[in-house]
């Protein structure tokens, strides 16, 4: 039984896997079809109706993201009728959307704005009542501006299908429909930011991104330092400062990040971040007593002095040598970190086993 299907799109034949959608087949041919509610890793939804196509013999256009391919189908992805329907749909969406692109965090990276640009929509034809919502979230990670929500459902689906949390869902019906946590409470979830990553408008953004910049950014690929998963991060840098973090879909983590990876980057620019090795100049027992008696952590910094890396490594080598000579190799143990690379962890265990001479070595991510 054949596992492939051949169809014709805009006069071009294409063969794709069975149970592919027309949208999948069109993208195989690099034929552009506009979408707002589609994501390749989520269950097809068909909510925005922008991906309508015409099938020869069908009475009306169909959503290409939810229509499966069949042998012999003849599909048209662009025609005066389709473009008129798409433009009208966009105008209806924009009629209930704030026109504050000048100050929106997603300006220049907004799918709705981009589609309005391509269809030349400056002033939507439709006027009427707009949904007005009060912004009330106080969390430091995710900012919600629900007046910019187009009800595409991407945030709801990614929270349920990818993250498995289902912290938000649709509430009410008709004009009052909105995406909200239960009982319209403030957002209180894992703050992974998957919803922010898939939102096509400025309805969901990083609270830390506000007024940090939208253009003239330099992108740097790196690895997340927080655990041993090794997720790939894209740091967006402006004026030598990391202003936001994202991840590309073509990575081992497929573009998904946790709260630490997406929002835990402020330590990079902390003024109290350690940049040089420190050597204790106050005995540990005495330092503990001083802290217990009321010394602040800032004053406790005087317990140490900065030294060069050569001096610090010489001190560590000398102390390890003294302990090994006096008490034997098994008096020493080593614990490595999941924040290190595999190569660094390999060298560490080799040092403990080969140079120190003990098998007392472990790893914080072993379990």
Q: What is the pLDDT of residues 129-188, one digit of tens each?
A: 889 888 778 899 999 999 999 999 999 999 999 999 999 999 999 999 999 999 999 999
State the maximum Cα–Cα separation within the chain, in Å, rounded to a whole number. 90
Rounded to an integer, the average pLDDT of 243-270 is 94
**Residue 278, strand partner residues:** 306
What integer pLDDT is reported at residue 218 of this predicted model?
Answer: 95
pLDDT at 300: 65
Lowest mean pLDDT among 33-37, 73-77, 106-110, 289-293: 289-293
Question: Rounded to an integer, what distance in angstroms lies between the CA atom of residue 17 and that of residue 21?
Answer: 9
Domains 4-78 and 130-269 share a fold: no
Residue indicated by tokens 């039984």: 1
- Token pair recorded at residue 317: 């080598």
At 118 the pLDDT is: 95
Of 41-45, 84-88, 362-366, which gets the smallest average pLDDT? 362-366
Q: What is the mean pLDDT of residues 309-338?
A: 94
* The pLDDT of residue 7 is above 50: yes
Under the banding of pLDDT at 50, 70 and 90, the label for residue 365 is: low
Q: What is the pLDDT of residue 173?
A: 92
According to DSSP, the β-strands at 334-336 and 4-9 are: unpaired
Q: pTM of this prediction?
A: 0.84
| Share of residues in the chain with pLDDT > 90 (%) | 76
Class (C level, CATH) for 4-78 = alpha beta
Q: Among 118-122, 225-229, 307-311, which stretch is predicted with the lowest mean pLDDT?
A: 225-229
Amino acid 1: pLDDT: 64
Per-residue pLDDT at 297: 62
Higher pLDDT, 338 or 170: 170
Q: Give the residue carrying structure tokens 């350690």.
A: 274
Please count the other Cβ atoms lying within 10 Å of the Cβ belonging to residue 112. Answer: 23
CATH 3.30.70.20 corresponds to the domain 130-269: yes
3-state secondary structure (DSSP) of residue 209:
helix
More confident residue, 227 or 248: 248
- Number of Cβ within a 10 Å radius of residue 145: 19
Q: Return the number of other C-beta atoms located less than 10 Å from residue 357's C-beta.
A: 12
Report the relative pairing of strands 304-306 and 334-336 from DSSP bridges: unpaired
Check residue 367 and give its pLDDT.
45
Residue ranges of the domains in the chain?
4-78, 130-269, 278-363
**Above 70 in pLDDT, residue 366?**
no
Lowest mean pLDDT among 43-52, 58-67, 284-293, 348-357: 284-293
**Looking at the predicted structure, is the pLDDT value of residue 292 above 60?**
yes
At residue 296, the 3 state secondary structure works out as: coil
For the cut 90, the answer to whether the pLDDT of residue 203 exceeds it is yes
CA distance 59 to 50: 18
DSSP conformational letter for 126: -
**pLDDT attached to residue 342:** 82
């Amino acid at each position: 039984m054949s596992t492939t299907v051949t169809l014709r799109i805009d006069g071009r034949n294409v063969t794709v896997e069975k149970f592919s959608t027309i949208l999948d087949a069109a993208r195989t041919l690099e034929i552009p079809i506009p979408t707002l509610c589609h994501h390749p890793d989520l269950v097809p939804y068909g909510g925005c109706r922008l991906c309508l196509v015409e099938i020869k013999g069908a009475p009306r256009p169909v959503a290409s993201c939810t229509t499966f391919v069949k042998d012999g189908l003849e599909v048209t992805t662009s025609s005066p009728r389709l473009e008129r329907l798409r433009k009208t749909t966009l105008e209806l969406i924009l009629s209930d959307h704030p026109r504050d692109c000048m100050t929106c965090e997603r300006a220049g990276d907004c799918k709705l704005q981009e589609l309005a640009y391509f269809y030349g929509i400056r002033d939507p034809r439709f006027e009427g009542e707009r949904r007005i919502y009060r912004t009330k979230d106080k969390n430091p990670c995710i900012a919600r501006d629900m007046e910019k929500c187009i009800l595409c459902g991407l945030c709801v689906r990614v929270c349920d299908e990818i993250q498995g949390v289902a912290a938000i869902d649709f509430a009410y019906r008709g004009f009052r429909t909105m995406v909200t946590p239960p009982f319209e409470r403030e957002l209180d979830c894992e703050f992974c930011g998957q919803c922010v990553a898939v939102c096509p408008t400025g309805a969901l953004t990083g609270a830390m991104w506000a007024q940090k910049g939208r253009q003239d950014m330099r992108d740097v690929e790196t690895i997340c330092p927080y655990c041993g998963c090794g997720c790939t991060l894209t740091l967006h840098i402006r004026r030598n400062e990391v202003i936001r973090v994202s991840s590309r879909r073509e990575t081992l983590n497929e573009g998904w990040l946790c709260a630490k990876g997406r929002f835990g980057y402020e330590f990079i620019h902390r003024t109290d971040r350690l940049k040089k090795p420190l050597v204790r100049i106050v005995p540990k027992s005495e330092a503990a007593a001083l802290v217990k008696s009321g010394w602040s952590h800032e004053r406790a910094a005087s317990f140490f002095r900065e030294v060069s890396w050569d001096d610090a490594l010489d001190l560590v080598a000398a102390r390890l040598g003294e302990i090994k000579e006096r008490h034997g190799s098994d008096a020493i143990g080593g614990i490595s970190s999941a924040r290190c690379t595999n190569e660094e962890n390999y060298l560490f265990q080799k040092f403990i086993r080969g140079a120190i001479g003990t098998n007392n070595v472990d790893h914080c991510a072993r379990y």
